[in-house]
Each structure stands twice: as C-alpha cells, then as structure tokens.
Structure 1
Amino acid sequence: MAGVQTAVELRQQGWRGHITVLGDEPHPPYDRPPLSKAVLLGAAEGGEDVDVRFDVDFAALDVDLRLGVRAEALRADKHEIVTDTGVVPYDKLVLATGAYAVTLPGTAGLENVYPLRTLDDASALRPVLARQRQVVVVGAGWIGAEFATAARQAGCPVTVVEAADRPLAGALPAAVTEPMRAWYGESGVDLRTSTPVAAVDPGEVVLADSSRLPAEAVVVGIGARPETGWLGGSAVALDEIGAVRADDRLRTTAPDVYAVGDCASFPSARYGRRLLIHHWDNAVQGPRTAAANLLGGDEPYDPVPYFWSEQFGRFVQYAGHHGDEDTMVLRGDPEAASWTVLWLRDSTLVALLAVDRPRDLAQARKLITRSAVLDPAVAADPAVPLKDAVR
C-alpha cells in the first residue's frame, strides 16, 4: 500500500518524470487488511475468491512496476539499490518495505505452522478453514482475534494461547481488554492466557506448563518487525527494533531517501514521542507527505493514527495514541454490546477506542486533530454526542 500510494501521489501532485516501483512478491500490489478479514471470511462462507488487488492502472500512470525483485543492499553514496536481479540507480528513493511476521523459535520448516501477513499466507490458510482443521492460534492480539473469528465461522475448533495475562496486553489496559475475554467464549473459542508456548511438534503445541494441545494447524500472530535487514551497514539509521528513523518530513539519514509505512518510525509533535504505526491508514497518509516533500515541499507528518479490527461480530476502531499517564474515561458499559473508551491528557482528547460506535470514532478523530478539551463528566455519558462534550 505505502509504495503504490507514493507512486500515485507523485503523479497526482504533478511529477511527470520516471517512477519505478520494486516489489519482492510476485503478485500485483494488493490490500493487506482483507487478508485477515474478507479473504478468510470468504473461505468460511463457501470459498469465494476475494479480489484484493489495488485498482491502479500502472500503465496509464506510466509507472514501471517490477515484481519479484528483492532489494539486498543500499549504496546511498552512489544512489544505487542492489537487488537480486541487478543494480537499480535512483535520483530519489522511497523506502516502503513494510514489515514481516515474527515467527516462533524452533518452528522453521514445520508444515503445520502458518503466519498471516501476505497474500500467500492467506492462500495457504484457506484450505485449513475449508477442511475445518483443529487450530491453535498463538497470540491474542488483533491478528489472532481476526483469524480466530474466521476459523470459527468456518467451523474449525479453535484454541488461542497468549503468554500475557489477557488479550491485547501490549496495546490496551486491563480495564479495556478484560471485557474482551468474554468475546472469545461467546464465539466458541478456548482462550488460554498466561500460557507461553514451549514448542510446536507435529500435530500438537507444547505449553510451558508441559500440557499439550492437539493442533492440525498452528497460526502465529505474535507481532511484526520492520523489513529493513537489507539496510544494515547503509547510511540509513535504524532504531533498536530495526525501524527506519525518519524525521518529521519522512526523510531518512541518507540523502534523497525517504521512508513510509510499516518500515519507518517518525517523531510526533502531537504526542511528544516517536511513533511506529503498523496500520493501513498510515500507509495511505504518509505517502502524501513524502511525495510532497520529495517534490520540494516542506510538510510535517503528524497524523492522528487510526485502525480498525473486525472480530467476534464486533467492529472495533481506535484513533490517536495514549500512554499510561493519560486519564481513561469509560463511555458506556464494556459489558454491553457497544461502548467507547476515551483517553484524556489534561482534559485534551488524545485517543479513543470505539466498539460498534462509529459515530464516536468519526467525531473523535476531528476532535483529536484540533486538540479539543473535553468535560470528562459530560464525555462519559454515551447518550451525549462527543462533540457536545467540548469545553
């Protein structure tokens, strides 16, 4: 998404020179969110194919799209990329290599272990759902929940194991995630928290307490890391987890090199910290800024992060960014069908999680963008529109 959007933005913003897009996958560029949603849900509902390709006419845009070409090194001093098919020179370069799925140690080569990151990953998992295999999902994060949802709809027995004490422990506080635990049981999923995986053997998963779970398929959803190993030793600075350290104009530390999407972090003046956002909206918004600056502009990049997740019959949306120091305000009952959580920093709205309350989300994004100050007591009343809680 980020690479293709950059090419589209360059054309829309007036660039008429040559554009080359390199991609290491053999498939035409595609949309990633449906891989854990519509693609798998299509399999659950009868095996219909879901077209996830971008609706982009590369020929009409005069974009040289080269598929199956993997970048192996960057020679920033020579303005060259070394690929597995040869050297590609550039005047300006945008890094949009995304992220890769983290794997479980000791599972390399096991045929019954699946990540869920790419189109090929989703295609490999479709037969698992179609044959109603017994599935163990490792990780109760966003991807784990979405796959468990599709697998249950397909009729698969599903167990989700999570090393932390609750779902989404790394993303949300316990007061928010604890009510989500019930969603698993309601859908017939056996959720086991505080349960690290010790090993995966053929046909089963061995847990840290030595218990064993039968598993015809093991789906791993324990996070992703920036796909930047090929930049090692180059002039592009990386952080401790390998993300490209872009500045607030999405420039890297190498001349004429920018970075967008899952592979890059950037400093946010809005939140006073560096952000690494692995979500679709960032891959759409970042290219607009990168293209403008590549063409001579001077635009800062400081979006309100946004993502959504469809799981267990619920539509979950999140906007903004919160920290432990922020004040949490419940807007509705988390045991109910729909509810919202707000995070305030000195009464300024900085983030929101909405469960089946899209109107709250739509209003909150605008309020966060303009740093609106809310009356917490008024904002806590779900019957009052959020915009009416502004002081």
Structure 2
Amino acid sequence: MSSSDSARRTVIVGAGMAGVQTAVSLREQGWGGAITLLGEEPHAPYDRPPLSKGVTTAAFDVDFAGLDVDLQLGRQATALSPARRTVTAADGEAIPYDHLVIATGAQPVTLPGAETAHALRTLDDAVALRPVLEAKHDIVIVGAGWIGAEFATAARQAGCAVTVVEAADRPLAGALPAEIGERMRGWYAEAGVDLRTGTTVAAVEPGAVVLADGTRLPAGAVVVGVGARPATGWLAGSGVALDPGDRSVLADDRLRTSVPRVYAVGDCASFPSARYGARLLIHHWDNALQGPRTAAVNLLGGDEPYDPVPYFWSEQFGRFVQYAGHLSPADTVLWRGDPDGPSWSVCWLRDGALTALLAVGRPRDLAQGRKLIERGARLDPALAADPAVPLRAAAR
C-alpha cells in the first residue's frame, strides 16, 4: 500500500458485530490507513445473540488498540454528506472519511402506548430485565417470533409465569409456513407458557396488559419482541438509496451503496441474491459475520460477490433449532422424521434442488444441508425423506 493510501481513513458507523468485523477484516485484508469505529452505545462492543438466548452478555474479544482502530463510544451518527465526505455526530462534529461503511444495524419495533415495556436489543435492555427475572414477576411477552420464544424460555427457566400474545394465528407466522409454525405451538404448552394467538394488545397499564377482546393479563413486566427495522433514519437526505418498504440500505451484490466509496453491511442492508433470485434482508448473526469480509475485500479494490446461504440458530423450550437457506411458497416440502418427536427436519426443494432446511435437534442435517444448498445439489426425495439416511447420501 502506498504512503497516500496509508493516510486515508475508513469510518465505520456502528459497533455491533457487523461494524467490529468490518474493522477486523480491513486489517486482515491489508488496509493500512486509519480506521474510525463509531459506536452509539457507551459500552464496549458486545455480541447481541446472548441477550435473548439466556439474557447474558458477551464482549467481543478484540484488541482494538492493537489493531490501531480508533474506537469512539457514545458517538451517534446523525447525518451523512457524501459531497463533503463527512459523517456528522450528535455533538455536531463532522468526521471526514475516504471510505465509509454503514453498519448501524436495526432498531426494535415498539408497541404504541407501551412506553414502560421492555425491548430486548441492547445491553441496557438486558440489564433492566435481569431483576425482573430474579423477582419472578408475571411476564407478558408480545410476539411469538424467535426473540419472544427465546425470552419466554429464559423467563420460564427463571421461574416466572409467562404469557405470550401473538397477533397472528400461530408462532413464527412471519418466518415459517403454517404447517411448521403450528408444530411449535405445543412447545409453549409443554414449557408452561400461556400462548394466545390471533389477538392484539389494546393497552399496557400499570400491572396489566389489556387485550383487544377486553381480557386483562397480570403483568409485572411487559417485553415486546415484534420485530426490528433497519436503523437508517440518519441517512435521510444523503442520497444513499433506501428500500421504500423496509427502509434498508439498497446495497448491490458487492455490498456497495448508491453513493461512491460507501458500503453497507449487517442488519441495516439488503442485497440481491443470484442464488435465490430475490433481494434479501437478513437480521441474523451469521450475516453480520460474513458480510464484512466481502465489504473489506471490495473496499480494497476487489470484486467479490456476496451471496451467502443464510443461516441462524435458536434455543427454545429445550430444543436446538437451526435454519439455512431461503424458502419460497412455491417450494416442495419434504419432512425428515416425526415432527411430534424430539428431533426432525424439514427440507424445501425447488426443481429438485435443496433451497432451505429447518433442523430441530438434528445438527448433522443442518451441517450437511447447508453444504448441499451451497452446491445447488439435487436430492432424491425418497432417500431425503428417510431420517436414517445421511442427507448428503440423498444428493444425486
């Protein structure tokens, strides 16, 4: 790298997994210039998944000083000026950049009129919920998605009485087909969780949640887990193209934005997938881990496409659930094992090729299936449906 290159600065906005991994990847890939990493929270960067998977915290094991990364905590970005190549912080300082990486993640969707309800996104959220669990309060969780199920699991393990309220008619309605989500309904009952589907919250009052049908649920605490939206409001007027629906940064397949020298990674960015023929917005840990490497390579002059097989995992009600790929309603569903038993998998096939897989207590299926999806492998349906046959042996 030339001396002029070493004088340049990459600014990364967001100090979550995606932002931290971008800084690490830039150094690993040979970036010799300055790196400034802006974190909105005052805490040292930490891993978010454990916040719901047991309400624990885990700081990243990264030597920022050793990597010569200027980590600035408590610095919220409020505006971007591509013409000046500056990011404006909340205190008014304009921070210059030569390259910029947007990694501001996502913000939890709030419940109108529920200002006292807890979210579960930040370290402060987790800290606020610990005494709730220790006091064994009656807890009402709004949302039966992945976050809601994981926190319900932690709350039951802590000895709390738990009610989960879901507007849809089943758990995970926004993530999985009805025939899958309905199989998970019984998990709540087994764990002693009162699951109420097809109903909405009308009001949150001191000590109670009032449902749309007038039912009053005792609530020492209310936790809202109804999804998250990309944290991109600070980009208004910058020229960075956003999706008009979900407000994600519209990155291309190299994770470049519509503005030169500006990249986007993690929960705040969507990208086109040639593998699935769709634009994907992935709010999962693995995407925040993989994307930064590709962004770093391309920022340094490479030409590497980003088209991963999406992956995530969840622990809920004593079950280890993993998912890889991206399904569509037109895909053929193939079951492996008894869905009423302790371990089973579901495969989705498109024109005979494996496109997605959900594994409950079958990590080997997931590991093999993920590789088959990456290869675009076609499966023999009869062999794939036999849970005694290794999934890789079903590949044609």
Report if TM-score (shorter chain) is over 0.5.
Answer: yes
Note the C-alpha offset of 1:322.
0.2
Following the alignment from structure 2 to structure 1, what is the Cα–Cα distance between the partners of residues 248 and 209?
31
Q: Partners of 1:235 and 1:291 in 2: how far apart?
A: 22
Partner of 1:193: 197
Instruction: Tell me by how many angstroms 1:107 deviates.
Output: 1.6
Which residue number in structure 2 is paired with residue 28 of structure 1?
44
| 1: CA distance, partners of 2:278 / 2:301 | 26
Q: In structure 2, what is the equivalent of residue 62 of structure 1?
A: 68
Distance across 1 between alignment mates of 2:39 and 2:190: 41
**Offset, 1:51:** 5.0
Q: Which runs of 5+ in 1 are unaligned?
A: 41-49
CA RMSD of aligned residues (A): 0.7
Pairing partner for 1:80 from 76, 86, 92: 86
Report what 2:53 is aligned to: 37
Partner letter of residue 59 of structure 2?
Answer: R
User: Is 1:308 matched with 2:313?
Assistant: yes
Q: Which residue does the alignment assign to 1:164? A: 168
C-alpha spacing 1:274/1:126, structure 2 compared with 1 (3 Å): same
Residue 146 of structure 1 aligns to a residue in which SS?
A: helix
The CA deviation string for residues 321-363 of structure 1, in whole angstroms up to 9 with x for no partner, is: 0010111111111100000000000010000000000000000
Tell me the distance in 2 between the aligned counterparts of 1:266 and 1:199.
37
SS in 2 for 1:330: strand
Kindly provide the CA deviation profile for residues 85-136 of structure 1, in whole angstroms up to 9, marking residues without a partner as x. Answer: 311000000000000100001123x2xx100011110110000000000000
1:342 matched to 2:342: no
The total of aligned residue pairs comes to 378
Measure the CA separation in 1 of the matches of 2:389 and 2:321. Answer: 20
1:204-223 matched pairs, under 5 angstroms: 204-223=208-227
Are residue 272 (structure 1) and residue 277 (structure 2) matched? yes
Shift of 1:81: 0.4
Measure how far apart 1:377 and its partner are: 1.4
CA shift digits 1:272-294 (9 cap, x unpaired): 00000000000000001000000
**Counterpart amino acid of residue 386 in structure 1:** L
Distance across 2 between alignment mates of 1:184 and 1:18:
50
State the 4+ residue runs in structure 1 displaced beyond 3 angstroms: none
Q: Aligned-pair distance for 1:198?
A: 1.1
Residue 174 of structure 1 deviates from its aligned partner by 1.4
The two structures have a TM-score, normalised by structure 2, of 0.95
Letter matched to residue 232 of structure 1: A
Helix, strand or coil at the partner of 1:26: coil
Determine the C-alpha separation between the residues in 2 that align with 1:67 and 1:203: 36
Q: Kindly indicate whether residue 162 of structure 2 is the aligned counterpart of residue 146 of structure 1.
A: no
Equivalent residues in 2 for 1:95-106 (5 A)?
Answer: 95-106=102-113
- What are the Cα deviations for residues 222-256 of structure 1, in whole angstroms up to 9, with x where unaligned? 00000000001111000122100000000000110
Counterpart of 1:294 (choices 267, 276, 299) is 299
TM-score (norm 1): 0.96
CA apart distance, 1:378 = 1.0
Q: Provide the C-alpha distance between the structure 2 equivalents of 1:51 and 1:184, rounded to a whole number of angstroms.
A: 25
3-state SS of 1:114 partner: coil
Counterpart code for 1:61: L
Aligned residue runs from structure 1 range 215-234, under 5 A? 215-234=219-238
Task: Map Cα deviations across residues 183-202 of structure 1 (whole Å, 9 max, x no partner).
Answer: 10111100011011111111
Q: CA deviation at 1:211?
A: 1.1
SS in 1 for 2:368: helix
SS of equivalent residue, structure 2 residue 59: coil
1: CA distance, partners of 2:236 / 2:57: 35
CA deviations over 1:197-224 (Å, ceiling 9, x no partner): 1111111111111111111100000000
Aligned-partner Cα distance in 1 for 2:210–2:259: 46
Residue among 256, 268, 276 paired with 1:251? 256
Q: What letter is aligned with 2:63?
A: D
Report the Cα distance in structure 1 between the residues aligned to 2:165 and 2:387, rounded to whole angstroms: 34
Counterpart CA distance in 2 for 1:37 and 1:173 is: 24
The residue number in structure 2 matching 1:47 is none
CA distance in structure 2 between the aligned counterparts of 1:133 and 1:16, rounded to whole angstroms: 52
Unaligned runs of 5+ in 2: 1-16
Q: How far apart are the structure 2 equivalents of 1:179 and 1:373?
A: 27
Q: Distance in 1 between matches of 2:53 and 2:212?
A: 30
Aligned to 2:114: 107
What's the secondary structure of 1:275's corresponding residue? Answer: strand
Distance (whole Å) between structure 1 residues aligned to residue 209 and residue 329 of structure 2: 34
d(CA) in 2 for partners of 1:241 and 1:279?
16
Q: Percent identity?
A: 72
How far does the alpha carbon of each residue in 1:134-192 deviate from its partner, in whole angstroms, 9 at most, with x for none?
00000000000000000000000000010000000111111111111111011110001
In structure 2, the partner of 1:7 is 23
Q: Determine if contact 2:48/2:57 at 8 Å carries over to the other structure.
A: no
Aligned partner letter, 1:144: G
